[in-house]
Chains A and B, each alone.
Chain A
């Protein structure tokens, strides 16, 4: 069984500041990990994924995440926030080789001018 915990349902940063969205997971098998972004009234867009290999994963729009097995974490970062980054972000986990995703409760990112 898998589960995902996203710390902080709301995060507010200033434009140009570092973005850090936290995700911790639990999984009984090696996990695949994902970050998705959702804009209002839209579906989910994949930002990045970790399956195997390099633990530092780079995604779209300047986001990256690091898989830390010892900390069971997969935090999402972006060096400099842009107004267009304001959205809801979801961390998700799936068991190796399976399709079903277990999502965290989401973090709404607000970017202040």
Chain B
């Protein structure tokens, strides 16, 4: 069974540009969450999508956005990149929403460097 796939693994962008990251969840999983990991702030929740709808959102500026497609694949977009956006972006997929089915499987992440 294939795991969570994130592409690309590494990315270098210039300040002011925008970037799109992709996440393919485990087959059959309908929930996709995104996290940002930095040395200073640790792991922070960005947002969660379930059945193409954003269900939860963390405390990030509007430059961070996402979407989910009908096949559950998700993309995350960051516009007007800032140096502080350099981070490891992790995607996690889960089978459903609610109840005790809360196990999240993480991808290997996309390492974004903003120069």
Chain A residues with a Cβ under 8 A of chain B: 32, 34, 36, 41-46, 49, 51-52, 90, 92, 94, 97-106
Contacts and interface: CB of A to CB of B under 8 A. Distances in A.
A101 B99 contact: no
A32, A36, A101, A103: residue with the most chain B Cβ atoms closer than 10 Å: A101
Contacts of B58: 100
B42, B56, B90: residue with the most chain A Cβ atoms closer than 10 Å: B42
Interface of B: 4, 6, 31, 33, 35, 42-45, 48, 50, 55-56, 58, 90, 92, 94, 97-100, 102-109, 111
Contact of B33 (A46, A97, A99): A99
Contacts of B4: 43
Contacts of B35: 101, 103
Given A44-B106, A51-B100, A106-B42, A99 B90 contact: no
Given A51-B100, A103-B43, A98 B56 contact: yes
B48 A99 contact: yes
Contact of A97 (B6, B98, B104): B98
Contact of B31 (A34, A45, A99, A104): A99
A45 B56 contact: no
Contacts of A92: 43
Nearest to A99: B48
Contact of B103 (A42, A46, A100): A46
A94, A103, A106: residue with the most chain B Cβ atoms closer than 10 Å: A103
A43 B42 contact: no
A101 B45 contact: yes
A29 to B, nearest CB: 13
Given A42-B108, A97-B99, A101-B92, 13 more contacts: A32-B102, A44-B92, A44-B106, A45-B106, A46-B105, A94-B102, A97-B97, A99-B56, A100-B58, A101-B43, A103-B42, A103-B44, A106-B43
Contacts of B92: 44, 101
